[in-house]
Chains A and B, each alone.
Chain A
Amino acid sequence: MVEQTVQIVSNERDTDLYFRLVVRAPGIAPLVQPGQFAHVRILPLKEALLRRPFSIFQISGDTLSILYKTIGRGTEVLSRMRPGEELSMIGPLGHGFTVPQPACETPLLVAGGYGMAALYLLAQRSPQRGVVFVGGRRRVDILCEAEFRALGWEVRVTTEDGSHGEKGLVTQAVLTELERRAPGRKLFACGPTPMLKAVGRLAAEFNLPAELSLDEHMGCGIGVCLTCVVPIKAGESWEYQRTCTEGPVFDSREVVWEAGE
């Protein structure tokens, strides 16, 4: 974990409300493991105090990139920042995905919207190729499809309006694949909470291991404020663990969704 002032190299619109930010972060980039995140202070925000957490998308030398959607004040201000401007970044943070070992289970990645960003490094560093299931509402919500294909992964796209790929939910496509009952699979997922819950249910139904990257509201990002807690199994009961520290990636069997409802 390092805190440093990073300089924006580029900050370009991807599709629709999605942007790609590249920053020079020599203290952070080399340390990043798949599924980890960076906590970013957007200095022009002023009256909004907290940092914003973003999955680390790609690494190239001493730069790292973030794929984000403008969903609120923080990301809107960020999207207007230009190359040369500075951000304060703490990273890499959190406990990421387990990178598959050679000759172990075939990885099946499941992403909803900008959840793809959290899975890219995993796909890149996995010695085994697998299948990426990508879902979104419309065509513009499907991101970096070509980049996953360029890594040699099979990409299956679903959109809710049918404007790209198969029509329907991403978890329907995953179900169809799992029903083939090919042996030795493992699921890795990042996306909206309802999607993660559905992936967890599929993993349980087909008795497969699954790692889920949770997206919770965060405060400090380093484990002290206890904002981002989720209910996790502990003995016979459960306890609140921190998405920023014990997570964001949890074994789906450990997450006690019903306790948080």
Chain B
Amino acid sequence: MNLSVKIGTLTLQNPVTVASGTFGYGVEYAQLIDLNQLGAVVVKGIRLEPVRGNPTPRTVEVTSGLINAIGLQGPGVDGFIRKYWLFLKGLKVPTIINIWGKTVEEYAEVARRFDALGGVGALEFNVSCPNIKAGGAQFGTDLKLLSQVVSECRKATKLPLITKMSPNVVSIVPYAKAAEEAGSDALSIMNSFPAMAIDIETRRPSLANVTGGLTGPCIKPIAIKLVWEAAKAVKIPIIGMGGIQSAADAIEFLMAGATAVAVGTANFYEPQTALQVVAGLREFMQQQGIGDVRELIGSVQTGK
């Protein structure tokens, strides 16, 4: 049975990865799960400098979901390399590094730094974080800026480039095409959906940042549709994510057209989820007599 898939030049032993920001730097989960059974480890977003992040409260639980406004707290490129790289480099599975910047130049510089590091599996560009004032979603919701940031990073590195798309656009199709044309090797679909919750006793927003990004099982149907639309429009592979908590969820994404998937918010409440998805996917393929996971990709039948 073949479970392996390719994202650009990067081969994953299976299509199950984790979503940036839900898995720290991998090491936090090492005592609870065997990281070497994942398709890849994807780390939390990193820019050049350390980032303090937003004030608290930063998350609020809502029905079948979670709204967060962490603000990309992180150690910066140097802090990341010093604290986490030795551990990640020692894993048998590739590390995908999620990067962001406040300017196109910063994205490119971070890409150059990780290109020079050696041993990085791929870079994922966060052009879609709803929780920071400069950088993030402004790049993912402006076609010109999106093309610019992807093409500048393309020049800065030979590593596979994955663009993490914002769901907050009228149609994802032109954005997916723009990222592909500018040299992106793959797309991650999708980031969190802009959202808000109010505490009715205090009449205050539940988050200090007022608004945040919605994740968890409640966003899955939105993500499935975006993956399906983008998959018809581009040739590059798509990593599908949004509310996956079981193998069945992951298979839905594959059928919609995703080549790989990422488990996100579920890591917070059930650290075993990603490995359960791998096991469940294998079981499903066995039951259905499917020899190669690639047979599932885009296999949804929409005709009569």
A residues with a Cβ closer than 8 A to B are: 1-3, 41, 47-51, 88, 90, 216-217, 219-220, 222-230, 239-240, 260
A226 touches B57 (CB 8 A): no
A48, A220, A239, A240: the one within 8 Å of B61 (CB): A48
A3, A219, A223: the one within 8 Å of B272 (CB): A3
A51 touches B29 (CB 8 A): no
A224 touches B24 (CB 8 A): yes
B52 touches A217 (CB 8 A): no
B73 touches A229 (CB 8 A): yes
Binding stretch for chain A, among B62-70, B108-116, B194-202: B62-70
B55 interfacial by beta-carbon distance below 8 Å = yes
Q: Determine the distance from Cα of A238 to Cα of B60 in the docked complex, in whole angstroms.
A: 24
Known: A1-B32, A226-B73, A229-B53. A219 touches B59 (CB 8 A): yes
- Can you list, as one digit per residue, whether each of B29-73 has a CB less than 8 Å from chain A (1) or not (0)? 101100000000000100000001101111101011110101001
Further 17 A-B residue pairs, CB within 8 A, beyond A224-B267, A240-B53: A3-B32, A3-B271, A48-B61, A48-B63, A49-B61, A50-B268, A50-B269, A217-B57, A219-B268, A220-B268, A224-B24, A224-B29, A225-B22, A225-B268, A226-B73, A229-B58, A239-B52
B8 interfacial by beta-carbon distance below 8 Å = no
Residue among B31, B59, B64, B66 having the largest count of chain A Cβ atoms under 10 Å: B59
Q: Please name the 4 residue pairs, one residue from A and one from B, whose CB atoms are nearest each other, closest first.
A: A224-B24, A220-B268, A227-B59, A223-B28
CB distance from A257 to the nearest CB of B (A): 12
Main secondary structure of the interface of A (DSSP, over half): loop
A224 touches B216 (CB 8 A): no
B217 interfacial by beta-carbon distance below 8 Å = yes
CB distance from B78 to the nearest CB of A (A): 15
CB neighbours of A240 from chain B (8 A): 52-53, 73
Q: Determine the distance from Cα of A248 to Cα of B50 in the docked complex, in whole angstroms.
A: 23
Known: A3-B272, A225-B59. A49 touches B32 (CB 8 A): no
CB distance from A255 to the nearest CB of B (A): 13
CB distance from B244 to the nearest CB of A (A): 13
Residue among B73, B266, B269, B271 having the largest count of chain A Cβ atoms under 10 Å: B269
Q: Determine the distance from Cα of A49 to Cα of B67 in the docked complex, in whole angstroms.
A: 12
B44, B53, B216: the one within 8 Å of A49 (CB): B216
Q: Determine the distance from Cα of A32 to Cα of B32 in the docked complex, in whole angstroms.
A: 17
Q: Determine the distance from Cα of A117 to Cα of B74 in the docked complex, in whole angstroms.
A: 33
Q: Determine the distance from Cα of A49 to Cα of B266 in the docked complex, in whole angstroms.
A: 8
B265 interfacial by beta-carbon distance below 8 Å = yes
Residue of B nearest to A224 (CB): B24
CB distance from A184 to the nearest CB of B (A): 36
Q: Determine the distance from Cα of A224 to Cα of B68 in the docked complex, in whole angstroms.
A: 13
B56 touches A260 (CB 8 A): yes
B23 interfacial by beta-carbon distance below 8 Å = yes
A41, A216, A222: the one within 8 Å of B32 (CB): A222
CB neighbours of A219 from chain B (8 A): 59, 66, 268
CB neighbours of B217 from chain A (8 A): 49
CB distance from B205 to the nearest CB of A (A): 14
Q: Determine the distance from Cα of A40 to Cα of B278 in the docked complex, in whole angstroms.
A: 24
B61 touches A229 (CB 8 A): no
Residues from 258 to 289 in B contacting A, C-beta threshold 8 Å: 265-272
CB neighbours of B23 from chain A (8 A): 224
Residue of A nearest to B55 (CB): A260
Residue of B nearest to A74 (CB): B61
CB neighbours of A225 from chain B (8 A): 22, 59, 68, 70, 268
Q: Determine the distance from Cα of A120 to Cα of B56 in the docked complex, in whole angstroms.
A: 29
**Between-chain CB contacts (< 8 Å), 19 pairs:** A1-B31, A2-B31, A3-B271, A41-B269, A47-B64, A49-B66, A49-B265, A50-B269, A88-B270, A90-B271, A222-B28, A222-B29, A223-B28, A224-B29, A227-B70, A228-B56, A229-B58, A230-B56, A260-B55
Q: Determine the distance from Cα of A225 to Cα of B24 in the docked complex, in whole angstroms.
A: 7
CB neighbours of B59 from chain A (8 A): 217, 219, 225, 227
CB neighbours of B70 from chain A (8 A): 225-227
B32 touches A90 (CB 8 A): yes
Q: Determine the distance from Cα of A219 to Cα of B270 in the docked complex, in whole angstroms.
A: 11
Q: Determine the distance from Cα of A209 to Cα of B257 in the docked complex, in whole angstroms.
A: 59
B22, B31, B55, B270: the one within 8 Å of A224 (CB): B22
CB distance from A66 to the nearest CB of B (A): 18
CB neighbours of B270 from chain A (8 A): 41, 88
